[in-house]
Structure 1
Amino acid sequence: MKGFVSSRLHPLLALLLLVGLMLAAVCLATFLIAVVASIFFHISVFELGAVTQNPGNNPHGWSVLMLSQGLLLFVGFAGAALALASIQGRSWASYFAPRRPVPAWWLLLAAAIIVLSLPAMSGLIAWNANAQFPAFMHEFEVWARDKETQAQDLTQYLTQFTSTGRLLVGLLVIAVVPAISEELVFRGVVQKQIIRLFGSYHAGVWLSAFLFSAIHMQFFGFVPRLVLGVVLGYLFAWSGNILVPMAAHFAQNAVQILLLYAQQRGTLSATLDPDSTEALPWPWMLLSAVLTLGLLRLAYQKFGYTGAPVVSHTLTGEGLLVGGSTPPLGHTLTSHGVEPAPRPQAPL
């Protein structure tokens, strides 16, 4: 498949193109939301803004808000990332999963790492939630806490699972869609382009994780989300398959939703409140940290892949040029492919 944009586009230009595609996709998603809301909920385009701002005042408010969240994220993020790969002439499989297929247990291992890390993460959550900014950043702190409150109010409203149907919708919109959409963008595109830019997969992992956390606009949960992004980034870099961080991301969100549902039904102990920003007892956090680090080491050993970009190869008169440097020995093109040229024999 040949695209109309070069697959060797400069990383910064590729990221700018991604942003442009995301803006276009968000416009498309907004149009789709208006159409669906009109057909199924009889809400006109003029009423839609009021419903999404105050969903509690409309009997279909929860459904419309879930629809908006799901379509904006899926079309705006996943759609843009997939479109970028397509216009560069790359298949989705080769772009987002250069190492394929992967064993199913890799997905289970990635999910286990995230689930087992939750007690340890509670310490980071508690520390970040109580962080104090310097005096000169007071206005920013007030703004950030206001954004945090708005995000918490929205989350609490969306996670009112009064029925099994609502739970299933919540799992789809809050667990499945973000796992697919955010991983395609931040690990599948952003991380890959930063690796190309700096030539280091560590830089790609950390910088994409920073952007992943920043875009959520929740600064009193910034550090835990940054750490989550780093773990997801390394899982992608090591495994070479986007399905691995997707499985981990889904596990993170799905466990939180299921815990909330259990709490709302009165079957969850008060000490395991998923909405709490309090740290769990230190023995739990210590055990969690040890198990998580152990599984991460296992993943690194078993996956054995750094996600480094494929280096271009050029056949020249001096042999095969790899990444712009000539190998120590000359290479020749044979029926078996490119092979080291035979050494000249000494005269008899």
Structure 2
Amino acid sequence: MSLFYLVIFIILGYTLSSLLAVGIFFLTNRGIASPSDIAGSKDSLLMMQAIVATGSFILPPLALQIFEKKSGADYLKLKTKVPFTIIILTVILMFGIAPFIDWTLKVNQMMDLPAFLDGLERWMREKERELAELTKHLMTMKTPVDLAVNLLVVAVIPAMGEEFLFRGCFQNIITRIMKNHHLGIWLAAAIFSAIHVQFLGFFPRMFLGALFGYIFVWSGSIWPAVAAHFTNNATAVVIAYITQSQGKSLDSIENPSATIAQATLSLVFALLICYVFFNMTKAKREVSND
């Protein structure tokens, strides 16, 4: 029933926020909001993305939390206090795991499906190309104001919304259904990756989603997972801004280049950080369980 209510809230949130976004576009541009009109305007795309992401990802989890408050459900654990050292450790973890994620992305992009799935592979690669072009369009930044807007739309809102929805709600609900938090973490991570419809980056995104899931479970609060997600997205935005401020094209940003040795060292370092993280939050988990 919780899953049913969540899906209903997502459908309502997406529908209403989409209508609101198109309505605002219509009012501010005094014209018909056709797909081509919207697609050609970066500011309109960012505005619509911010509104729809808020309505689809942030508000439904909050609505579910309020709706099921009587049953004692606390999906997001928003009020759980987290030591600042945990947030710092989370940021270090994200930078440490980056080469491993980079390597898995390179391996994922080398994917070659069997001959009878050629049509599916062509569709996946075409979809990847379209989304890459859209991302490049949105990530065009010339001023600090552009940087601030992109950090809000590409880093802050997705970090909060996707963690609220996938870790806070889907992961918790799946864990209750399966009675196993590992299954809850990995199934929610797989859904989180699939929803992006970028299958040449499916596995690295799923690994990140699982990492966010364990951070949420270990810390007992959604905020470290949000901090991890924000660090990942914000790093990409800042790198894109610096690249363009140096007069270079976004095409000059290197493709995945991590070697297997770098990936191995990165994974070992990340596991050590996870071990420290796990032990630092162990006492709080035991108190919470009691």
**TM-score of the two chains, using structure 1 as the length reference:** 0.77
2:85 is matched with 105
- CA deviation after TM superposition for structure 1 residue 43, in Å: 4.0
Other structure's SS at 1:96 match = coil
Structure 1 position 49 matched with structure 2 position 35: yes
Q: Deviations over 1:55-77 (max 9, x none)?
A: 1xxxxx11100011111111111
- The CA distance in 1 between the partners of 2:151 and 2:14, in whole Å, is 22
* Letter of the structure 2 residue corresponding to residue 42 of structure 1: N
Residues 294-305 of structure 1: matches in 2 within 5 Å?
294-304=272-282
Residues 81-100 of structure 1: matches in 2 within 5 Å?
81-89=61-69, 94-97=74-77, 100=80
- CA deviation after TM superposition for structure 1 residue 48, in Å: 4.0
Q: How many residues align?
A: 289
- Unaligned stretches of 5+ residues in structure 2: none
2:75·2:172 contact (CA, 8 Å) conserved in 1? no
Residues 19-30 of structure 1: matches in 2 within 5 Å?
19-30=7-18
- The CA distance in 1 between the partners of 2:149 and 2:195, in whole Å, is 24
Percent identity (aligned): 30
Other structure's SS at 1:208 match = helix
Higher relative contact order (CA 8 A, sep 6+): 2
Q: Deviations over 1:158-216 (max 9, x none)?
A: 00012111111000000000000000000000000011011111011100000000111
- The CA distance in 2 between the partners of 1:267 and 1:296, in whole Å, is 38
- CA deviation after TM superposition for structure 1 residue 99, in Å: 7.2
- CA deviation after TM superposition for structure 1 residue 29, in Å: 0.6
Whichever structure has more strand as a proportion of its residues is: 1
Task: From the superposition, tell whether residues 233 and 267 of structure 1 become closer, same or farther in structure 2 (CA, over 3 Å).
Answer: farther
- Unaligned stretches of 5+ residues in structure 1: 1-12, 56-60, 312-321, 323-348
Other structure's SS at 1:280 match = coil
- The CA distance in 2 between the partners of 1:263 and 1:92, in whole Å, is 48
* Letter of the structure 2 residue corresponding to residue 37 of structure 1: F
Other structure's SS at 2:196 match = coil
1:98·1:240 contact (CA, 8 Å) conserved in 2? no
* Letter of the structure 1 residue corresponding to residue 263 of structure 2: M
Q: Residue 120 of structure 2 is aligned with which of 114, 136, 140?
A: 140
Q: Residue 211 of structure 2 is aligned with which of 224, 227, 231?
A: 231
- The CA distance in 1 between the partners of 2:90 and 2:50, in whole Å, is 24
Q: Deviations over 1:219-245 (max 9, x none)?
A: 100000010001000000111100010
1:237·1:305 contact (CA, 8 Å) conserved in 2? no
Residues 307-322 of structure 1: matches in 2 within 5 Å?
none
- CA deviation after TM superposition for structure 1 residue 279, in Å: 2.0
- CA deviation after TM superposition for structure 1 residue 114, in Å: 1.2
2:170 is matched with 190
- CA deviation after TM superposition for structure 1 residue 300, in Å: 1.2
* Letter of the structure 2 residue corresponding to residue 50 of structure 1: S
Q: Which stretch has the larger CA shift, 215-224 or 25-34?
A: 25-34
2:220 is matched with 240
- The CA distance in 2 between the partners of 1:181 and 1:307, in whole Å, is 24
* Letter of the structure 2 residue corresponding to residue 219 of structure 1: F
Residues 1-348 of structure 1: matches in 2 within 5 Å?
13-39=1-27, 41-44=28-31, 46-52=32-38, 54-55=39-40, 61-89=41-69, 94-97=74-77, 100-266=80-246, 275-304=253-282
2:25·2:33 contact (CA, 8 Å) conserved in 1? no
* Letter of the structure 2 residue corresponding to residue 164 of structure 1: P
Task: From the superposition, tell whether residues 290 and 124 of structure 1 become closer, same or farther in structure 2 (CA, over 3 Å).
Answer: same
- The CA distance in 1 between the partners of 2:51 and 2:284, in whole Å, is 33
- The CA distance in 2 between the partners of 1:257 and 1:91, in whole Å, is 40
Q: Deviations over 1:266-309 (max 9, x none)?
A: 289x9x9885333224554343222211111111111228989x
1:238·1:305 contact (CA, 8 Å) conserved in 2? no
